[in-house]
Structure 1
Amino acid sequence: MNKKLIALAVAGAVAAPAVMAENSVTLYGQARVGLEQIKANSTDTAASISKTRVADWTSRLGFKGQEELGGGMKAVWQVEQAVKLDDGTSGTFASRNSFIGLAGGFGAVKLGRHDTPYKLTGDLTSGMVGSADINGAKGLMHRADRRADNAVWYESPSMGGFTASVMYATAENKEPANATDKAIDTSLWSANAVFKGNMFEGGIGYVHHEDAGLDFVGIKESTVNGTTVKQRVGADVKADAFIGFAAVKFGPAKITTALEHTEEKRPAAGANSSFKRKRDSWMLGATYDIGAVQLRAAYVEARKLKSASFETTDDTGAKQFMIGAGYAFSKRTEAMAFFTKIDNQKNAAFDFDTNSLGVKAGQDPQAFGVGLRHKF
């Protein structure tokens, strides 16, 4: 009897890895929280900002898995959500990259909610987190960042270090704002091509948004030749963004540079005046490893608007710099510190993309932060 039990136990132990390989589920995530001291100078339209805060730096919790289907094909899925460890006001379930798809030697086809290929083109943060992260719609770089809803996309396999992807997001919620307005089309498409090698990384990305301006929010009123002009932001605005990056590694050092070009345009329609605007941004970042310590620095500049509309383009640029360091206790746990400052010209209101302050034009926010990150 004992011999039979031992034989069954051995058989089960041998079979278990095979079962797990065919159908696996993984719990994963990242806890990132810091203590920040924030300041922003006063302007004619806003009070000074000065506060200390415990800030969540995009913590997340996810589940992912796969099932082997045979013939080299497998089903893949992921459900990921933001978790706010500072105050518990987390978003909805599946608020981050969440999808289901099929993968194999051909690459992968997926459906769901996900970062656009444009957003995934290049890690330009140089290890910065929290208020020091330069990427995002409110920041100075990667300003066309979106996590697209109702999307379908293709990811190629790696071919000698080269990968490519293309995405289309449908306008599933295309509805008029009211009985007289035109429906806003929220569709987009995006693509990228990236190379990753031992010493060099580089890539290009593109995204096109229907009815999704990058700088205007809500209703904008302006006076043109004594007449008040109202613009309903979003309707008929076509936005295009291009980004390219290159990174070189040599020894313990890594240098990254990137260029971004954004364009927005809309024809005149009813009470809405036409406009066409462009902006260029660039960044330079570096990291240097000394044992368990990584030194980090980055500089980014958003140049002034170029506009063929009534709006002012003078003094609409901004600059941001960051310095920081990380200390790796292990592969999973790291302590971090940084200092960053945004220098807005008088008609610019760039903000921290993570935990933004709501600064007014001309305000110059700055932050010092220390915190911890743990991956699991």
Structure 2
Amino acid sequence: MQKKTLAVALAALFALPAVAQAEVTIYGFMAASVESAKATGNGDAAKEYKRTTRVNSDNSRIGFKGSEDLGNGLKAVWQVENSLSNYDNGAGNVWAGRNSFVGLSDATLGTIVLGRFDSAYKRLTDTGQDLMVNTSAGNQGAKNIFSRGEDRYTNSISYTSQNWNGLVASASYKADEADGNNNRWSVAAQYTLEGLKVGLGYDQQKNVAAADTTFAAVKDLKKNEFYKLSASYKIADTLLIAGYEWARGDAKVGSDLKQDDWTVGVQQNFGKASVRLSYSALGKLDGAPSADDYKASQWVLGGTYSLSKTVLAYAYATKIDNKAKANVKFQVNQLDNGAGNDPQAIGAGLRVNF
């Protein structure tokens, strides 16, 4: 009897992990590229980067996610996502440093999550404008040429609706746990109709320190505001993209700041291959002395080839033209270039999705 009881107990013990992990999905990708890059042009040799060869991890990541059915259309959801940048001697790997959260999802009412999560502004205004995302030739982000109001909120709560005949809406709130004076929030919506996608969003943050503002002019701000409209249209094997963003910074001292940015591009597919071209620009910084010196632009030319359903080869060339006081950087694999330097890169890589 004791042997039978022990056998049953051991069987149950070894069965428990299998049950607990039944709803866990492991996902992500490993990528690497080799490129030639430089950042020169401002005349300060101490802040210029002469041409160098680099091997990059291109934003590689691994994630774990799952759900549990609670009945009546309700389920618990969770996710832990991590950067893998250290494998090419990079830095910045933090456990759960990417989108990581826990929440509830209802089949009718939508999904609410708590934790670290991309803002509603970032998620729903992305309709495909970043044609070479996760490479040095990417163009979106707070320190990049376009979509400078996007962010991944920490200490946040986010609600996303279900799809209502092509319309999805979302709202995000980032709590300031230090003194409560610089909370951040955003609202956004995305509409899809056949090959057309349109995104619209608003993001606001109060009491922004000079080190954190996306504006190149260094000053503390009472409030940052971003407005963004984006669209993409796919017809047959052609994808057309466009986006416009307007930003306002209410200064604590001196003139308020205003600046816009925009992008246009096209992707043409040829079976397993594609060619991608985009041009983006950052406008003058109204309210700052020498406003035109804060302008910047970026050309991107890229191509991809699908070796299988999960393996993608890619190549790219890009150049950022920073005016005297602009300091736009690569999306990933950034060079710490000073203002006025012009980063440029040409490279090729391989990505394996899992």
TM-score for the superposition, normalised by structure 1: 0.83
- Identity of aligned pairs, percent? 34
Moved over 6 A (4+): 19-22
Secondary structure in 2 aligned to 1:298? strand
Number of the residue aligned with 1:227: none
Distance 2:105 2:22 in 1: 14
Cα 1:373–1:197 change in 2 (3 A) is: farther
Distance 1:374 1:172 in 2: 38
Residue 302 of structure 1, aligned match among 269, 282, 285: 282
Number of matched residues? 328
Unaligned 5+ segments in structure 2 are: 1-14
Number of the residue aligned with 1:32: 31
Number of the residue aligned with 1:189: 185
Secondary structure in 2 aligned to 1:358? coil
Residue 107 of structure 1, aligned match among 102, 107, 110: 110
Aligned 8 A contact 2:49 2:337 in 1: no
1:28-107 matches, cutoff 5 A: 28-45=27-44, 46-84=47-85, 85-87=87-89, 89-104=91-106, 105-107=108-110
Structure of higher CA gyration radius: 1
- The alpha carbon displacement at 1:87 in A equals 1.5
Secondary structure in 1 aligned to 2:78? strand
TM-score for the superposition, normalised by structure 2: 0.88
Secondary structure in 2 aligned to 1:139? coil
Secondary structure in 2 aligned to 1:62? strand
- The alpha carbon displacement at 1:185 in A equals 3.2
Distance 2:267 2:20 in 1: 37
- The alpha carbon displacement at 1:23 in A equals 5.8
- The alpha carbon displacement at 1:274 in A equals 2.9
- The alpha carbon displacement at 1:86 in A equals 1.2
Cα 1:205–1:293 change in 2 (3 A) is: same
Distance 2:197 2:247 in 1: 23
Cα 1:331–1:237 change in 2 (3 A) is: farther
Distance 1:266 1:346 in 2: 22
Distance 2:159 2:340 in 1: 42
Aligned 8 A contact 1:38 1:50 in 2: yes
Query: In angstroms, what is the RMSD of aligned CA positions?
Result: 2.1
- The alpha carbon displacement at 1:117 in A equals 1.0
- The alpha carbon displacement at 1:22 in A equals 11
Distance 2:334 2:90 in 1: 18
Unaligned 5+ segments in structure 1 are: 1-15, 175-183, 221-230, 268-272
Number of the residue aligned with 1:215: 215
Distance 1:48 1:168 in 2: 39
Distance 2:61 2:318 in 1: 24
Letter in 2 for 1:287: Q
Distance 2:21 2:351 in 1: 32
Measured against aligned partners, the alpha-carbon deviations of 1:52-85 in whole angstroms (never above 9, x if no partner) come to 1111211111110000001110000001111113
Number of the residue aligned with 1:238: 223
Number of the residue aligned with 2:8: none
Number of the residue aligned with 2:334: 356
